[in-house]
Chains A and B, each alone.
Chain A
Amino acid sequence: MSDTEDYAAFVAAAWNRHFRTAVLLTGDPHRAEELLQDCLVRLYVRWRRVASGDPDAYLRRMLANGNVSWWRRRRRETLTDRPPEATTADPAAAPDDELRRALLALPRQQRAIVVLRHYEDLTERAVADLLGCSVGTVKNQHHRAMKRLRETLSRAPEEATR
């Protein structure tokens, strides 16, 4: 199997799972797809080196770190040849989605830690390795993130009843 075939097989198999992680990280399916595509293009360039290791872990790292720095690089406007279909409602963008809004209210690093710990089910050590920080930082940021999530989610029903 050639490198390209190998890469294509990986993308086909890994796309759905990593797309969902990207949706949680970015909070928007369109941004998630764009981030995932950017990361997969970079993965293609490094495929020979990465393929012998754990490409899933490598891609997860690119997504998490890419989302933190992504907005610094991207312009507000992006060119597209396909305007969004106005009649298609985005279920993930539902205004009553409390968890989504609570996640989006977190700083990007804290959001990444929550997603990696609770959605990807990674250990604190694995999250620290992936984000390039210490285990202590992960513990601290995770604690703050959970506290903030609890506060936001507990406030949400009160706000809804006003």
Chain B
Amino acid sequence: MNTELPEALRALAERTPPPAAPVEELVRRGRRTRRTRAAALGGAVVAASVAVTGVALVPDAPDTVAPPALISSSDPVTTFKVNATYTLNQKGRTPHVERYVGAFDSAHHTGYLRGTQEVRLFGKDGYVKRGKWKKVNDLFDAVTRGTLSPADLNADSRAVLRALGGKVVRVNATTFTVTAPARPVAAGLAAGKRIEATLVLDPATKRLKKITQTTVLTGPEPAIADRTPVHFVAEIELSAYGTPVVLPNS
């Protein structure tokens, strides 16, 4: 049988004439699959990590000597320390979590985060240290993905609620929930469309103590469906209002 079997298998296989190879269809499906993965993973999972994001999205960012010094004042409303946790959840994958500490001066829209990597933010752009410092354009958009960044926050919860926009629900004296449209981000970035935010105030001072923002990232190409959406959660705790932003030794 061993000698007859190959011949018999060949005859069986050749009884069905192969259909024409759908080369164009396969290339089109392959491109779509590649783009979907890029949108869901490359543009989201990598992107959502605070520091990794900027570098990953701008891989050719030239090395630079050092970021400029932060301009900061001591203000009881706009300068503070932060603990930030960014989490990416995608079905079938282990959640990706990055934790950072830092300090911000939102009056100057500037500050730093230290954790997995060191990030310094200036206006819309910023610097990421990965061995050497790299300047990254639109770093704020890459970090926030349509949510508010630490540099958009301050002690005045009403100002933060105005910045978020959308519908505000007062849960109790110190907790508010907001459903708001996401802020626009730079072209080509995966970002959320709607933000679900919870603001918690300090009961004694009524200053903003913590903000949790959740959104679902969608790729920059709306025509491409994402079967496994990435849920992005940004938790930012604010403390030590009035402390000037002092850069740590790097």
Chain A residues with CB under 8 Å of chain B are 4, 7-8, 11-12, 15-16, 19-21, 23-24, 29, 32-33, 37, 40-45, 47, 90-92, 97, 99-100, 103, 114-115, 118-119, 121, 146, 149-150, 153
Interface of A is mostly: helix
Among B31-39, B72-80, B132-140, B141-149, the one that faces the other chain is: B31-39
Q: Give A91 to B12 CA distance when docked, in angstroms.
A: 9
Interface of B is mostly: helix
Chain B residues with CB under 8 Å of chain A are 1-2, 5-6, 8-10, 12-16, 18-19, 21-23, 25-27, 29-31, 33-34, 37
**Are A19 and B6 in contact, CB atoms less than 8 angstroms apart?**
no
Residues of A with C-beta under 8 A to B30: 7, 40-41, 43-45, 47
Residues of A with C-beta under 8 A to B33: 41-42, 44-45
Write the nearest CB–CB distance from A83 to chain B, whole angstroms.
16
Q: Give A7 to B15 CA distance when docked, in angstroms.
A: 27
Q: Give A119 to B14 CA distance when docked, in angstroms.
A: 11
**Are A44 and B19 in contact, CB atoms less than 8 angstroms apart?**
no
Q: Give A16 to B22 CA distance when docked, in angstroms.
A: 11
Write the nearest CB–CB distance from A1 to chain B, whole angstroms.
14
**Are B19 and A115 in contact, CB atoms less than 8 angstroms apart?**
no
Residues of B with C-beta under 8 A to A97: 12
Interface centre among A7, A20, A99 (most CB of B within 10 A): A20
**Are A21 and B13 in contact, CB atoms less than 8 angstroms apart?**
yes
Partner of B6, one of A32, A40, A119, A146: A119
Write the nearest CB–CB distance from A49 to chain B, whole angstroms.
13
Partner of B16, one of A90, A103, A114: A90
Write the nearest CB–CB distance from B105 to chain A, whole angstroms.
45
**Are A23 and B6 in contact, CB atoms less than 8 angstroms apart?**
no
**Are A99 and B16 in contact, CB atoms less than 8 angstroms apart?**
no
Q: Known pairs A7-B27, A24-B9. 13 more at Cβ < 8 A?
A: A11-B26, A12-B23, A16-B21, A20-B14, A21-B13, A23-B12, A29-B16, A43-B30, A44-B26, A44-B29, A97-B12, A119-B6, A153-B1
